[in-house]
């Protein structure tokens, strides 16, 4: 049966997350609803990366199987979808392709601003405190050396391993924001927010770099700081072999 990928972008403010949930609206629910309206049949979507409530995405993917050929009907589907979700393209892939398991890496960016700005308040995290940029970068580099991220995974998560390979971890400047950029083969539930919140504590000299490293060694999520908001977090890219991004 033919398999298709759907590339989507969305502003996550109004949604409980990416994946379908009981008694709460999600990005997946809205896309499935649009597909049902346009194609007059129900589809079961599989998602690539399960972003949490309030998290945004510049690029994420679903896949689905359908009996027969369809075209790139993104224009018509976008006319049905709410304005905070957009389908970038619909394209056929190999029948064995899997948008979750075949992803080679995922890149997140977390945006912070320190001067009050009403045009950033739902797309970045307001953090009006002085930060030691050197310490931020040092902590980011330490992340590259780690493999076990147990301390940076929220509880009640169903995973077989807390091992992750982080390929890039750095702080950069983008316009009016300070941005943490991280790319890895996989991410655990709450992992990016936990890393950002804990690195910010080091950047404020609330903890030392040694204490930051001890958080990893503790393998205890109560040692990490998950307090930063979801509004600053963006899934920016999901990389697949043979799929142009």
* Catalytic residue ranges: 52
Distance between CA atoms of residues 122 and 15, nearest Å = 13
Q: Which residues are bridge partners to 169 per DSSP?
A: 182
Cβ–Cβ under 8 Å, residues 215 and 223 = yes
Pairing mode, strands 177-184 and 46-47: unpaired
Q: What is the CA radius of gyration of the chain?
A: 19
Helix axes 191-203, 133-144, angle to 10 degrees: 140
Cβ–Cβ under 8 Å, residues 188 and 162 = yes
Cβ–Cβ under 8 Å, residues 147 and 160 = no
Work out whether the CA dihedral 94, 234, 155, 150 comes out positive or negative: positive
């Amino acid at each position: 049966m033919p398999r298709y990928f759907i590339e989507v972008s969305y502003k996550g403010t109004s949604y409980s997350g990416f994946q379908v949930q009981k008694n709460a609206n999600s990005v997946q629910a809205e896309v499935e609803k649009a597909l049902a309206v346009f194609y007059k049949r129900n589809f079961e979507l599989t998602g690539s990366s399960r972003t949490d409530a309030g998290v945004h995405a510049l690029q994420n993917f679903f896949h689905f199987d359908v009996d027969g050929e369809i075209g790139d009907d993104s224009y018509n589907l976008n006319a049905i979808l709410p304005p905070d979700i957009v389908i970038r393209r619909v394209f056929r892939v190999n029948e064995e392709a899997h948008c979750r398991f075949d992803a080679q890496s995922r890149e997140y960016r977390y945006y912070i601003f320190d001067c009050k700005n009403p045009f950033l308040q739902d797309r970045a995290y307001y953090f009006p405190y002085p930060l030691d940029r050197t310490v931020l970068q040092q902590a980011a580099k330490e992340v590259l050396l780690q493999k076990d991220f147990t301390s940076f995974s929220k509880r009640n998560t169903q995973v077989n391993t807390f091992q992750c390979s982080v390929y890039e971890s750095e702080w950069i400047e983008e316009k009016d924001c300070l941005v943490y950029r991280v790319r890895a083969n996989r991410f655990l539930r709450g992992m990016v927010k936990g890393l950002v919140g804990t690195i910010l504590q080091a950047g404020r000299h609330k903890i030392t770099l040694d204490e930051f490293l001890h958080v990893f060694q503790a393998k205890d999520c109560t040692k990490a700081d998950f307090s930063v908001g979801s509004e600053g977090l963006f899934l920016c890219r999901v990389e697949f072999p043979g799929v142009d991004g």
